[in-house]
Amino acid sequence: MSHRHVGSLHAPDAEMAVKNARDVYTRRNEGVSIWVVEARHITATAPGDKGPMFEPSESKVYRHPTFFDIPEEVGHM
């Protein structure tokens, strides 16, 4: 199940954080499961580093299966 960041909140402990997250971020049936993490435990890349971090993958098109032409006779692969 892939989780997506939906927002921040304040809570005295993890248990209350889950309760608050339920109240605040699942009022429109968005809820399936909730993860809460203390902000101080997150290590993140800087948005400014987007280029050096992620651009190298752009030049490696051979990582995608469509890079390779497989003859039709071989069938589905």
Partner 1 sequence: MYAQMIKTVSSGVKSRDEMSDEERAFQDKIDRDIKIEPRDWMPEDYRKTLIRQIGQHAHSEVVGQLPEGNWITRAPTLERKAILLAKVQDEAGHGLYLYSSAETLGITRDEMIELLHEGRMKYSSIFNYPTLNWADIGAVGWLVDGAAIINQVALQRTSYGPYSRAMIRICKEESFHARQGYHAIMKMAFGTPEQKRQAQDAVNRLWFPALMMFGPSDAESVHSEQSMAWKIKVKSNDELRRQFVDQTVPQIEYLGLDLPDPEIKWNEERGHYDFSDPDWKEFFDVIKGNGPCNVDRMKNRKEAWEDGAWVRDGLLAHARKRAAAKVAAE
Smaller CB distance to partner 1: residue 27 or 40?
27
CB of 33 to partner 1, least distance (A): 19
Smaller CB distance to partner 1: residue 39 or 74?
39
Smaller CB distance to partner 1: residue 2 or 8?
8
HEC assignment per residue over the chain: CCCCCCCCCCCCCHHHHHHHHHHHHCCCCCCCCCCCCCHHHCCCCCHHHHHHHHHHHHHCHHHCHHHCCCCHHHCCC
CB of 55 to partner 1, least distance (A): 15
Contacts with partner 1, residue ranges (CB under 8 A): 7-10, 12-13, 16, 23-25, 27-28, 46-48
